[in-house]
Amino acid sequence: MSFGLYYHIPYCFSRCRYCDFYAAGAWRGVPDAYIDALVAALGRHVLPGRPDTLYFGGGTPSLLTPAQCARLIQAAAPKPGAEITLEANPETVTLASLQGYRAAGVNRLSIGVQSARDSQLRTLGRPHTAAQARQAFALARQAGFANISGDIMLALPHYTRAEFDETLELIRQGGACHISAYLLKIEPGSAFGRRPPAGLPDPDQAAGFYLYAVEQLTRAGYRQYEISSFARPGFEGRHNRLYWDCEDYLGLGPAAHSCLGGKRFFYPADTAAFIAGADPVPDGGCGAEDYLILQLRLSTGLDLAEYRRRGGAAFTPHQLAFLERCAQAGYLTLTPRRLTLTPLGMIVQNSILEELI
């Protein structure tokens, strides 16, 4: 069994208008007291072993100094060859900081681009420009990073296929070997949720943008392996795969979630409480239903024998008839061994799951 460790870095320059993730407010750096708290929290857990993956997520992890990053990696003591990922915002990185992260042990960088159009970035509330995104990729390569991911957000206000093409080209030319492509979701707790922007695509248009993205990413050499994840061969993200395969992972920081030994828990969304040493809150277990939900995110789909081994119930005649209709409509493939959603099926994954759970 593999084990992953997640460090949540909740600090940001400012909040993007689509974001409803927990954040600690506007900061220009990460307080050392927060690093102390992460290290202390790590020491309070009984781990299943040294981590195979380590992920710095946020927030804006690239607000960490290289020295802070090095301290957290040393505390984690990851296995040799572990995948160590740091999310980075383009406006926060320099050649010196990226070189420092590499020296600390980071070997995978995830750069938040979202769009290649400055007007769109301003609409989203992103504090960087397209030129800064291009520069971030160039600096990452100069610093020695060979495993680089880039984020694209789809179905944005007044979106067009041309905007996607421009963003894909920026990331591809930047040397990315992995791309995460997400549909914009209007979250109730975000600024967009309180005041939706004009020009949002309708659901059918958004689905069309998603299918176009899958097609163009495939043509560009990025194979889809999960609903929102595309990679050149050998560069699939190992850390998130732990989540989808229901492996053990520990999340540290306010609002961070974990699953260890089949038990889920999370830290309250309160930075001050976390720094003060708050305990995590139990959140139930991880069973066959979780496995079904998470495996259907993957292009490899659900292994039905493994699903039954984990306690999954056999599909009823009604469910099998439903799945057969979905297969005929092009939403999935079903064999005696495996259930797999097509890209078209991934768009309506929630509706399919409602019928199966």
3-state secondary structure of 68: helix
**CA 144 – CA 339 distance, rounded (Å):** 40
Average pLDDT of the chain to the nearest whole number: 96
Which tens digits make up the pLDDT trace of 30-67?
A: 999 999 999 999 999 999 999 999 999 999 999 999 99
Which tens digits make up the pLDDT trace of 130-139?
A: 999 999 999 9
pLDDT at 89: 97
Contact assessment for residue 269 and residue 262, using Cβ atoms and an 8 Å cutoff: no
Token pair recorded at residue 277:
């040493």
Domain spans, the chain: 3-242, 301-357
**CA 85 – CA 78 distance, rounded (Å):** 12
In whole angstroms, how far apart are CA 28 and each of 12, 129, 256, 271?
7, 18, 22, 16
Is the confidence at residue 26, as pLDDT, over 70?
Answer: no
Contact assessment for residue 289 and residue 302, using Cβ atoms and an 8 Å cutoff: no
Which tens digits make up the pLDDT trace of 319-328?
A: 999 999 999 9
**CA 264 – CA 290 distance, rounded (Å):** 11
Angle, CA 310 vertex, CA 312 and CA 45 arms, to 5°: 130
CATH fold, domain 3-242, is TIM Barrel (3.20.20)
Q: Which residues contact 12 (CB under 8 A, 6 or more apart)?
A: 23, 24, 25, 26, 27, 58, 59, 60, 63
Chain centre distance of CA 211: 20
Of 240, 241, 221, 219, nearest to 231 (Cα)? 221
Is the confidence at residue 23, as pLDDT, over 90?
Answer: no
In whole angstroms, how far apart are CA 97 and each of 88, 90, 102, 312?
11, 12, 9, 47
Chain centre distance of CA 124: 18
Pairing type for strands 108-114 and 83-88 reads parallel
**CA 151 – CA 176 distance, rounded (Å):** 10
Which tens digits make up the pLDDT trace of 260-318?
A: 998 999 999 999 999 999 999 999 888 999 999 999 999 999 999 999 999 999 999 99
Token pair recorded at residue 71:
């301290």
Of 315 and 1, the one with more pLDDT: 315
pLDDT at 311: 94
Contact assessment for residue 226 and residue 240, using Cβ atoms and an 8 Å cutoff: yes
In whole angstroms, how far apart are CA 86 and each of 108, 178, 318?
7, 14, 45
pTM more than 0.85: yes
Of 282, 300, 312, 304, nearest to 342 (Cα)? 300
Q: Which residues contact 343 (CB under 8 A, 6 or more apart)?
A: 210, 211, 214, 224
Token pair recorded at residue 22:
């927990």
Could you tell me the sign of the dihedral formed by the alpha carbons of 256, 257, 260, 265, in that order? positive
Which tens digits make up the pLDDT trace of 139-191?
A: 999 999 999 999 999 999 999 999 999 999 999 999 999 999 999 999 998 99
Is the confidence at residue 125, as pLDDT, over 80?
Answer: yes
pLDDT at 20: 87
